[in-house]
Protein backbone atom coordinates (compact mmCIF):
# COMPACT_ATOMS: atom_id res chain seq x y z
CA UNK A 1 0.00 0.00 0.00
CA UNK A 2 1.07 3.54 -0.70
CA UNK A 3 2.26 5.82 2.08
CA UNK A 4 -0.23 8.61 2.75
CA UNK A 5 -0.01 12.27 3.72
CA UNK A 6 -1.80 14.03 6.55
CA UNK A 7 -2.80 16.82 4.14
CA UNK A 8 -6.61 16.72 4.01
CA UNK A 9 -8.11 15.01 0.94
CA UNK A 10 -4.74 14.87 -0.87
CA UNK A 11 -4.65 11.11 -1.31
CA UNK A 12 -6.95 10.09 -4.15
CA UNK A 13 -6.75 13.58 -5.69
CA UNK A 14 -3.88 12.63 -8.02
CA UNK A 15 -1.69 15.01 -5.99
CA UNK A 16 -0.83 12.80 -3.04
CA UNK A 17 2.46 11.90 -1.39
CA UNK A 18 3.59 9.88 -4.42
CA UNK A 19 3.40 12.86 -6.80
CA UNK A 20 4.55 16.24 -5.39
CA UNK A 21 4.91 18.31 -8.58
CA UNK A 22 6.86 21.58 -8.41
CA UNK A 23 5.66 25.00 -9.50
CA UNK A 24 5.88 28.74 -8.84
CA UNK A 25 3.12 30.67 -7.07
CA UNK A 26 2.39 34.02 -5.46
CA UNK A 27 -0.20 35.33 -3.07
CA UNK A 28 -1.56 38.84 -2.51
CA UNK A 29 1.05 40.63 -4.58
CA UNK A 30 3.92 38.85 -2.79
CA UNK A 31 6.90 37.84 -4.91
CA UNK A 32 6.54 34.59 -6.88
CA UNK A 33 8.34 31.63 -5.27
CA UNK A 34 8.55 27.86 -5.50
CA UNK A 35 5.95 25.46 -4.19
CA UNK A 36 4.92 21.85 -4.30
CA UNK A 37 1.35 20.83 -4.90
CA UNK A 38 -0.33 18.54 -2.35
CA UNK A 39 -4.02 17.94 -2.92
CA UNK A 40 -5.70 21.33 -3.22
CA UNK A 41 -2.81 23.14 -1.52
CA UNK A 42 0.54 24.53 -2.46
CA UNK A 43 3.35 24.11 0.03
CA UNK A 44 5.59 27.20 0.33
CA UNK A 45 9.02 25.60 0.06
CA UNK A 46 11.53 28.27 1.10
CA UNK A 47 10.35 28.58 4.73
CA UNK A 48 9.69 24.86 5.11
CA UNK A 49 13.04 23.73 3.71
CA UNK A 50 15.00 26.79 4.94
CA UNK A 51 16.46 27.10 1.46
CA UNK A 52 16.63 30.41 -0.43
CA UNK A 53 16.78 28.66 -3.82
CA UNK A 54 13.03 28.20 -3.45
CA UNK A 55 12.48 31.92 -2.91
CA UNK A 56 13.47 32.51 -6.55
CA UNK A 57 10.72 33.38 -9.06
CA UNK A 58 11.50 30.27 -11.14
CA UNK A 59 12.56 26.70 -10.37
CA UNK A 60 15.86 27.10 -12.25
CA UNK A 61 18.20 27.37 -9.23
CA UNK A 62 16.74 24.14 -7.82
CA UNK A 63 16.71 22.40 -11.20
CA UNK A 64 20.40 23.20 -11.71
CA UNK A 65 21.34 21.20 -8.59
CA UNK A 66 20.89 17.81 -10.19
CA UNK A 67 19.44 14.44 -9.47
CA UNK A 68 20.87 13.75 -6.03
CA UNK A 69 19.54 17.07 -4.72
CA UNK A 70 16.19 16.53 -6.43
CA UNK A 71 15.82 13.12 -4.77
CA UNK A 72 16.93 14.38 -1.37
CA UNK A 73 14.45 17.29 -1.50
CA UNK A 74 11.70 14.90 -2.41
CA UNK A 75 12.65 12.57 0.48
CA UNK A 76 12.56 15.47 2.93
CA UNK A 77 9.16 16.61 1.67
CA UNK A 78 7.74 13.09 1.84
CA UNK A 79 8.97 12.75 5.42
CA UNK A 80 7.46 16.09 6.44
CA UNK A 81 4.14 15.38 4.76
CA UNK A 82 3.79 11.71 5.68
CA UNK A 83 1.05 10.50 8.03
CA UNK A 84 3.10 7.42 8.93
CA UNK A 85 5.63 7.11 11.73
CA UNK A 86 5.56 7.84 15.42
CA UNK A 87 2.49 9.92 16.26
CA UNK A 88 4.52 12.58 18.05
CA UNK A 89 6.87 13.00 15.06
CA UNK A 90 3.98 13.30 12.64
CA UNK A 91 2.30 15.84 14.87
CA UNK A 92 5.50 17.89 15.17
CA UNK A 93 6.07 17.90 11.41
CA UNK A 94 2.46 18.83 10.78
CA UNK A 95 2.64 21.70 13.25
CA UNK A 96 5.76 23.04 11.53
CA UNK A 97 4.54 22.59 7.96
CA UNK A 98 0.82 23.29 8.06
CA UNK A 99 1.17 27.10 8.35
CA UNK A 100 2.90 27.04 4.95
CA UNK A 101 0.20 25.08 3.17
CA UNK A 102 -1.82 27.58 1.14
CA UNK A 103 -5.12 26.71 -0.53
CA UNK A 104 -4.73 26.78 -4.31
CA UNK A 105 -7.64 29.17 -4.67
CA UNK A 106 -5.65 31.80 -2.77
CA UNK A 107 -2.65 31.79 -5.11
CA UNK A 108 -1.68 32.82 -8.61
CA UNK A 109 0.33 30.23 -10.50
CA UNK A 110 3.21 31.39 -12.71
CA UNK A 111 5.40 29.94 -15.41
CA UNK A 112 7.38 27.46 -13.31
CA UNK A 113 10.65 27.73 -15.21
CA UNK A 114 12.59 30.49 -16.88
CA UNK A 115 12.78 28.79 -20.24
CA UNK A 116 16.13 28.78 -21.99
CA UNK A 117 15.70 27.08 -25.39
CA UNK A 118 12.45 25.45 -26.45
CA UNK A 119 12.64 22.57 -28.91
CA UNK A 120 9.61 20.85 -30.36
CA UNK A 121 9.91 17.32 -31.76
CA UNK A 122 7.62 15.29 -34.01
CA UNK A 123 7.74 11.89 -32.30
CA UNK A 124 4.36 10.31 -33.07
CA UNK A 125 4.32 8.02 -36.07
CA UNK A 126 0.57 8.40 -36.36
CA UNK A 127 0.65 12.20 -36.13
CA UNK A 128 3.40 12.53 -38.73
CA UNK A 129 1.59 10.03 -40.97
CA UNK A 130 -1.76 11.80 -40.62
CA UNK A 131 -0.25 15.20 -41.41
CA UNK A 132 1.63 13.70 -44.35
CA UNK A 133 -1.58 12.18 -45.73
CA UNK A 134 -3.47 15.46 -45.35
CA UNK A 135 -0.80 17.65 -47.01
CA UNK A 136 0.68 15.18 -49.51
CA UNK A 137 -2.23 12.89 -50.41
CA UNK A 138 -0.37 11.45 -53.38
CA UNK A 139 3.02 10.98 -51.73
CA UNK A 140 4.50 8.85 -48.96
CA UNK A 141 2.94 9.97 -45.66
CA UNK A 142 6.33 10.02 -43.89
CA UNK A 143 9.38 11.91 -45.11
CA UNK A 144 12.40 9.73 -45.91
CA UNK A 145 14.27 10.70 -42.75
CA UNK A 146 11.41 10.23 -40.26
CA UNK A 147 12.23 6.70 -39.05
CA UNK A 148 15.98 7.49 -38.84
CA UNK A 149 15.93 10.40 -36.44
CA UNK A 150 13.53 12.31 -34.21
CA UNK A 151 12.71 15.37 -36.33
CA UNK A 152 12.68 18.60 -34.35
CA UNK A 153 12.99 22.38 -34.57
CA UNK A 154 13.44 25.32 -32.22
CA UNK A 155 10.35 27.21 -31.11
CA UNK A 156 10.00 30.63 -29.49
CA UNK A 157 10.91 30.36 -25.80
CA UNK A 158 9.65 33.89 -25.09
CA UNK A 159 6.05 33.06 -25.90
CA UNK A 160 5.74 29.97 -23.73
CA UNK A 161 3.03 30.92 -21.24
CA UNK A 162 1.49 29.33 -18.21
CA UNK A 163 -1.88 27.58 -18.26
CA UNK A 164 -4.73 30.06 -17.99
CA UNK A 165 -3.06 32.75 -20.08
CA UNK A 166 -5.58 33.92 -22.73
CA UNK A 167 -4.48 33.19 -26.29
CA UNK A 168 -5.13 36.04 -28.75
CA UNK A 169 -5.96 34.69 -32.19
CA UNK A 170 -2.86 35.33 -34.31
CA UNK A 171 -2.93 37.34 -37.51
CA UNK A 172 -0.69 36.84 -40.47
CA UNK A 173 -0.17 35.97 -44.09
CA UNK A 174 -2.15 32.99 -45.28
CA UNK A 175 -1.17 33.18 -48.95
CA UNK A 176 -0.07 35.70 -51.61
CA UNK A 177 -1.70 39.02 -50.68
CA UNK A 178 -3.92 37.28 -48.14
CA UNK A 179 -3.67 38.73 -44.64
CA UNK A 180 -5.94 38.40 -41.67
CA UNK A 181 -6.77 36.54 -38.48
CA UNK A 182 -5.93 32.85 -38.51
CA UNK A 183 -8.93 30.90 -39.82
CA UNK A 184 -7.59 27.47 -38.91
CA UNK A 185 -6.49 27.74 -35.30
CA UNK A 186 -5.51 24.41 -33.81
CA UNK A 187 -3.97 22.73 -30.79
CA UNK A 188 -1.33 20.07 -30.36
CA UNK A 189 -1.38 17.96 -27.20
CA UNK A 190 2.20 17.28 -26.13
CA UNK A 191 4.38 16.24 -23.24
CA UNK A 192 7.41 18.44 -22.52
CA UNK A 193 10.64 17.63 -20.68
CA UNK A 194 12.37 20.21 -18.48
CA UNK A 195 16.17 20.19 -18.32
CA UNK A 196 17.90 20.88 -15.03
CA UNK A 197 21.57 20.02 -15.44
CA UNK A 198 23.46 21.84 -18.20
CA UNK A 199 26.32 20.64 -20.41
CA UNK A 200 29.21 22.41 -22.10
CA UNK A 201 29.42 23.14 -25.82
CA UNK A 202 31.02 20.25 -27.65
CA UNK A 203 30.28 17.71 -24.90
CA UNK A 204 27.66 14.97 -24.65
CA UNK A 205 25.10 14.63 -21.87
CA UNK A 206 24.74 11.62 -19.59
CA UNK A 207 21.54 9.58 -19.30
CA UNK A 208 18.17 11.36 -19.46
CA UNK A 209 17.51 11.14 -15.72
CA UNK A 210 20.77 12.96 -14.92
CA UNK A 211 19.66 16.03 -16.88
CA UNK A 212 15.87 16.08 -17.05
CA UNK A 213 14.06 17.00 -13.87
CA UNK A 214 10.51 16.34 -14.96
CA UNK A 215 7.63 16.68 -17.37
CA UNK A 216 4.74 19.02 -18.04
CA UNK A 217 1.78 19.01 -20.39
CA UNK A 218 2.14 21.42 -23.30
CA UNK A 219 -0.31 22.83 -25.83
CA UNK A 220 1.48 23.86 -29.01
CA UNK A 221 -1.16 26.24 -30.40
CA UNK A 222 -0.88 26.20 -34.20
CA UNK A 223 -2.16 28.54 -36.91
CA UNK A 224 -2.49 26.05 -39.75
CA UNK A 225 -3.11 28.58 -42.54
CA UNK A 226 -0.16 30.79 -41.55
CA UNK A 227 2.01 27.71 -41.08
CA UNK A 228 1.14 26.19 -44.47
CA UNK A 229 2.13 29.34 -46.36
CA UNK A 230 5.39 30.08 -44.54
CA UNK A 231 6.80 26.66 -43.80
CA UNK A 232 8.79 25.84 -46.95
CA UNK A 233 11.81 25.95 -46.85
CA UNK A 234 12.81 26.77 -43.24
CA UNK A 235 9.98 25.22 -41.21
CA UNK A 236 7.29 26.52 -38.85
CA UNK A 237 7.73 30.09 -37.57
CA UNK A 238 4.79 32.49 -37.06
CA UNK A 239 2.32 29.61 -37.29
CA UNK A 240 3.63 28.49 -33.90
CA UNK A 241 5.44 31.42 -32.26
CA UNK A 242 2.38 33.38 -31.07
CA UNK A 243 1.90 31.17 -27.97
CA UNK A 244 2.67 27.81 -26.40
CA UNK A 245 0.99 26.91 -23.11
CA UNK A 246 2.39 24.70 -20.37
CA UNK A 247 1.06 23.47 -17.06
CA UNK A 248 2.14 25.34 -13.91
CA UNK A 249 3.24 21.99 -12.43
CA UNK A 250 6.37 20.03 -13.27
CA UNK A 251 6.01 16.37 -12.37
CA UNK A 252 9.43 14.96 -11.35
CA UNK A 253 10.61 12.01 -13.43
CA UNK A 254 11.01 10.23 -10.10
CA UNK A 255 7.23 10.33 -9.60
CA UNK A 256 6.81 8.59 -12.96
CA UNK A 257 8.80 5.42 -12.14
CA UNK A 258 5.63 3.30 -12.28
CA UNK A 259 4.72 4.80 -15.65
CA UNK A 260 7.93 3.72 -17.38
CA UNK A 261 7.45 1.16 -20.14
CA UNK A 262 9.54 -0.15 -23.00
CA UNK A 263 9.53 2.22 -25.92
CA UNK A 264 7.65 1.18 -29.02
CA UNK A 265 9.50 -1.15 -31.43
CA UNK A 266 11.50 0.74 -34.05
CA UNK A 267 12.32 -0.27 -37.58
CA UNK A 268 15.00 0.29 -38.82
CA UNK A 269 17.04 -0.07 -35.66
CA UNK A 270 18.32 3.42 -34.78
CA UNK A 271 21.97 4.34 -35.03
CA UNK A 272 24.17 3.68 -31.98
CA UNK A 273 23.77 7.16 -30.48
CA UNK A 274 19.98 6.75 -30.55
CA UNK A 275 19.89 3.24 -29.01
CA UNK A 276 17.72 2.88 -25.96
CA UNK A 277 19.50 1.75 -22.81
CA UNK A 278 16.63 2.09 -20.35
CA UNK A 279 12.86 1.96 -20.79
CA UNK A 280 11.77 5.55 -21.30
CA UNK A 281 8.40 4.97 -22.82
CA UNK A 282 5.83 6.53 -20.48
CA UNK A 283 2.35 5.17 -19.87
CA UNK A 284 0.60 8.52 -19.63
CA UNK A 285 -3.08 8.81 -20.57
CA UNK A 286 -3.90 12.20 -22.08
CA UNK A 287 -7.30 13.82 -22.51
CA UNK A 288 -8.20 16.79 -24.71
CA UNK A 289 -11.21 18.75 -23.54
CA UNK A 290 -12.81 21.41 -25.75
CA UNK A 291 -15.41 23.60 -24.01
CA UNK A 292 -16.04 20.84 -21.49
CA UNK A 293 -16.36 17.99 -24.01
CA UNK A 294 -13.64 15.36 -24.22
CA UNK A 295 -12.73 15.18 -27.90
CA UNK A 296 -9.73 12.84 -27.76
CA UNK A 297 -7.78 10.49 -25.48
CA UNK A 298 -4.25 10.03 -26.85
CA UNK A 299 -1.89 7.58 -25.14
CA UNK A 300 1.68 8.80 -24.73
CA UNK A 301 2.98 5.21 -24.59
CA UNK A 302 2.24 4.95 -28.32
CA UNK A 303 4.99 7.45 -29.21
CA UNK A 304 7.64 6.19 -31.62
CA UNK A 305 10.62 8.22 -30.36
CA UNK A 306 11.28 8.25 -26.60
CA UNK A 307 12.69 11.20 -24.59
CA UNK A 308 16.13 9.60 -24.10
CA UNK A 309 16.37 9.51 -27.89
CA UNK A 310 15.21 13.13 -28.23
CA UNK A 311 17.89 14.25 -25.76
CA UNK A 312 20.62 12.20 -27.45
CA UNK A 313 19.68 13.56 -30.85
CA UNK A 314 19.38 17.19 -29.78
CA UNK A 315 22.95 17.14 -28.47
CA UNK A 316 24.77 14.73 -30.81
CA UNK A 317 26.14 17.67 -32.79
CA UNK A 318 27.80 19.10 -29.70
CA UNK A 319 25.00 21.51 -28.81
CA UNK A 320 25.05 22.38 -25.12
CA UNK A 321 22.14 22.19 -22.68
CA UNK A 322 21.09 24.94 -20.30
CA UNK A 323 19.07 24.82 -17.12
CA UNK A 324 15.54 25.63 -18.23
CA UNK A 325 15.75 24.07 -21.67
CA UNK A 326 12.43 22.51 -22.58
CA UNK A 327 11.93 19.92 -25.28
CA UNK A 328 8.51 18.66 -26.26
CA UNK A 329 7.31 15.45 -27.83
CA UNK A 330 5.27 16.84 -30.67
CA UNK A 331 1.61 15.98 -31.02
CA UNK A 332 0.61 12.80 -29.21
CA UNK A 333 -1.60 10.83 -31.59
CA UNK A 334 -2.65 7.17 -31.49
CA UNK A 335 -3.87 4.86 -34.22
CA UNK A 336 -7.58 5.45 -33.68
CA UNK A 337 -9.46 8.61 -34.56
CA UNK A 338 -10.45 9.22 -30.94
CA UNK A 339 -6.74 9.22 -30.02
CA UNK A 340 -5.63 12.03 -32.33
CA UNK A 341 -3.87 14.92 -30.63
CA UNK A 342 -4.77 17.85 -32.90
CA UNK A 343 -7.91 19.19 -34.55
CA UNK A 344 -6.37 19.02 -38.01
CA UNK A 345 -6.18 15.26 -37.54
CA UNK A 346 -9.44 14.86 -35.61
CA UNK A 347 -11.39 16.75 -38.29
CA UNK A 348 -9.19 15.68 -41.21
CA UNK A 349 -8.28 19.28 -42.00
CA UNK A 350 -11.75 20.54 -41.17
CA UNK A 351 -13.63 18.14 -43.45
CA UNK A 352 -15.05 16.03 -40.59
CA UNK A 353 -15.90 18.40 -37.72
CA UNK A 354 -15.98 17.08 -34.16
CA UNK A 355 -19.26 17.29 -32.29
CA UNK A 356 -19.21 19.07 -28.94
CA UNK A 357 -22.92 18.98 -28.20
CA UNK A 358 -26.16 18.95 -30.16
CA UNK A 359 -25.70 21.41 -33.04
CA UNK A 360 -22.27 22.52 -31.81
CA UNK A 361 -19.41 21.28 -33.96
CA UNK A 362 -15.85 22.42 -34.56
CA UNK A 363 -13.47 22.22 -37.48
CA UNK A 364 -10.93 24.56 -35.93
CA UNK A 365 -11.07 26.79 -32.83
CA UNK A 366 -13.54 29.68 -32.53
CA UNK A 367 -13.10 32.81 -30.41
CA UNK A 368 -14.03 32.05 -26.81
CA UNK A 369 -13.23 28.34 -27.08
CA UNK A 370 -11.37 26.86 -24.14
CA UNK A 371 -9.05 23.91 -24.58
CA UNK A 372 -7.81 21.94 -21.59
CA UNK A 373 -5.27 19.13 -21.64
CA UNK A 374 -5.28 16.65 -18.79
CA UNK A 375 -3.28 13.52 -18.10
CA UNK A 376 -2.85 10.76 -15.56
CA UNK A 377 -0.20 8.11 -15.02
CA UNK A 378 0.33 5.10 -12.76
CA UNK A 379 1.91 6.15 -9.48
CA UNK A 380 3.48 4.14 -6.67
CA UNK A 381 1.18 1.93 -4.58
CA UNK A 382 -1.41 1.63 -7.34
CA UNK A 383 -2.54 5.24 -6.84
CA UNK A 384 -2.67 7.16 -10.13
CA UNK A 385 -1.12 10.60 -10.33
CA UNK A 386 -2.68 13.53 -12.18
CA UNK A 387 -0.39 15.77 -14.19
CA UNK A 388 -1.09 19.48 -13.85
CA UNK A 389 -3.58 20.50 -16.51
CA UNK A 390 -2.94 23.12 -19.18
CA UNK A 391 -5.78 25.33 -20.35
CA UNK A 392 -6.26 28.33 -22.60
CA UNK A 393 -9.10 30.39 -24.03
CA UNK A 394 -9.04 32.00 -27.47
CA UNK A 395 -9.48 35.77 -27.62
CA UNK A 396 -10.46 37.59 -30.82
CA UNK A 397 -7.33 38.59 -32.79
Q: What is the contact surface with its own copies in residues (CB under 8 A)? A: 116-117, 119, 122, 143-145, 148-149, 151-159, 161, 165, 168, 170-173, 176-177, 179, 201-202, 223, 226, 229-239, 241-243, 268, 271-273, 313-314, 316-322, 325, 395, 397
CA angle 153, 333, 359 (to 5 degrees): 115
Sheet holding 384-395, edge to edge: 167-168, 384-395, 370-378, 285-290, 293-296
Residue 36 or 312: the one with the smaller Cβ distance to its own copies is: 312
Residue 122 counted as an annotated binding residue = yes
Instruction: Kindly state the smallest distance separating residue 154's Cβ from its own copies, in Å.
Output: 4
Residue 30 labelled as part of a binding site: no
Least distance (Å) from its own copies to the CB of residue 219?
Answer: 15
Burial 243-255 (b: 16+ CB within 10 A, else e): bbbbbbbbbbbbb
Is 106 one of the annotated binding-site residues? no
Nearer to its own copies, 39 or 270 (CB): 270
| Nearest approach, Cβ of residue 157 and its own copies (Å) | 6
Distance CA 373, CA 292 (A): 11
Of 131 and 255, which has the nearer Cβ to its own copies?
131
Comparison of 17 and 344: residue with beta carbon closer to its own copies: 344
Q: Are strands 118-121 and 326-328 parallel, antiparallel or unpaired?
A: parallel
Whole-number minimum distance, CB 322 to its own copies, in Å?
5
Q: CA-CA distance, 389 to 135, in Å (whole number)?
A: 31
Number of Cβ atoms within 10 Å of the Cβ of 85: 11
| 190 assigned binding-site residue | yes
Q: Which strand (E) or helix (H) includes residue 392?
A: strand 384-395
Nearer to its own copies, 279 or 318 (CB): 318
For residue 310, CA distances in Å to 67, 87, 211, 251, 271 come to 19, 46, 13, 19, 13
Q: Least separation, in Å, of the C-beta of 117 and its own copies?
A: 5
Determine whether the annotation assigns residue 188 to a binding site. yes
Report yes or no: 383 and 169 within 8 Å, Cβ to Cβ. no
Could you confirm whether 100 is annotated as catalytic?
Answer: no
227 belongs to an annotated ligand binding site: yes
**372, 157 in Cβ contact below 8 A?**
no
Given the residues 19, 50, 110, 127, the one annotated as active site: 127
Query: What positions carry a catalytic annotation?
Result: 127
List binding-site positions for Ca(2+).
120, 188, 190, 220
List binding-site positions.
120, 122, 136, 188, 190, 220, 227, 240, 244, 331
List binding-site positions for Mg(2+).
220, 240, 244
Amino acid sequence: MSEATWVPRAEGSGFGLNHLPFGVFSRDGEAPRAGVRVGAYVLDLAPVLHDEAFAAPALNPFLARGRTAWAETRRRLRRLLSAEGAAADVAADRAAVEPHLIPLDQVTLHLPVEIADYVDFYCSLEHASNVGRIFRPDGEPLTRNWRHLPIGYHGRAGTVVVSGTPIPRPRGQRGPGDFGPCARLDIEAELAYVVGVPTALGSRPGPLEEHVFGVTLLNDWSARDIQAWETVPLGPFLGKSFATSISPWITPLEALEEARVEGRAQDPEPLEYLRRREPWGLDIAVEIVLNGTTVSRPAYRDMYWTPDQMLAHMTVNGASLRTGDVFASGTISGARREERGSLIELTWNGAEPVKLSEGDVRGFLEDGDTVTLRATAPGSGGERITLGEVSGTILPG
